[in-house]
Amino acid sequence: MNLIKTMQHTNIWLIFTTFATAFTTQIKGMGIFSFKTKKAQGLSDFSALKTDIHSHLIPGIDDGSQDMDTSLLLLQELQNLGYRKVITTPHVKNEVFPNDVNKLEDLANNVRKAAAQKGLAIEIEVGAEHLVDEDFHKRISEGLFKTFGDNYLLIELPFMYVPFGVNEYLFDLQCKNYKVILAHPERYLYWAEDKRQFADLKDRGIIFQSNINSFTGYYGRQEYNLVKWFAENNMIEMLGSDTHGIRHIEVLHKALSSPLLAGLVNSGKIINNQF
């Protein structure tokens, strides 16, 4: 009797395992597991973004490209990566790079002409990356900004300390109808421990522009952790290459294989392609 019972159990087990194997094979064949495979994939290029929002391609005026040949090389590389347009954003810092925002359009025209002569199809718009420094209140009152698109204004904060009055400055800018973009928020590590400041800025409508290269750990582990947190909490609306030189192009190629970045680019939440 026991032997018959054992045989019956064995048969039931055999039938079950055979059925389970067949079922699993069938599901795999139907591609139900292909979602996981796709999620792990990266990007082939950045064409889905269309426009790069942040770079330093006007020669000789900041710590980016130092000559026209380098600017053209970088533009060619960005075009090869799938971009159809760049918004180049030279530093405007009173002490270090005291660039006159009223002269940037003429300087950009020189780059446009050289790019056209070289046969580059990539479009060039110019904005600026304005540092919130000690004279920022004067800059606000005099309107000394170079915006792009429909009054978008790119600002950056110091890396080492929270600038005095930053929240008031941002509020003032919004009251003056600037659409304020915060450059690479993942690099402001003084807010990394207590992230409420980031959440407050988002609540107040500040646009976060993260650097693509932060997704590779290029700037450091803490910057990577922060950009990951922003991405997971849907806080990033713009992505920038922040290209200063060929070293950044090399990292952009590495970033293509980041599943986290690919997921963000394909999420439909990034507005680069509206520019």
Residues interacting with Fe ion, by CB under 5 A?
129, 242
- The least CB distance from residue 194 to Fe ion, in Å, is 25
Nearer residue to Fe ion within complex by CB, 77 or 129: 129
- The least CB distance from residue 99 to Fe ion, in Å, is 13
Q: Is residue 119 within 8 Å of 156, Cβ to Cβ?
A: no
- The least CB distance from residue 156 to Fe ion, in Å, is 7
Q: Is residue 71 within 8 Å of 65, Cβ to Cβ?
A: yes
- The least CB distance from residue 245 to Fe ion, in Å, is 12
Cβ atoms within 10 Å of 36's Cβ, excluding its own: 8
Nearer residue to Fe ion within complex by CB, 223 or 242: 242
Nearer residue to Fe ion within complex by CB, 87 or 270: 87
Dihedral Cα 55, 267, 48, 69, nearest 10 deg: 20
The alpha carbon of 64 is separated from its chain's Cα centroid by a whole number of angstroms, namely 18
Nearer residue to Fe ion within complex by CB, 186 or 242: 242
d(CA 237, CA 269): 6
Number of residue whose CB is nearest Fe ion:
242
Q: Is residue 52 within 8 Å of 78, Cβ to Cβ?
A: yes
Residue 184 φ/ψ region, left for φ over 0, alpha for ψ in the -120 to 50 degree band, beta for the rest: left
- The least CB distance from residue 89 to Fe ion, in Å, is 6
Nearer residue to Fe ion within complex by CB, 129 or 223: 129
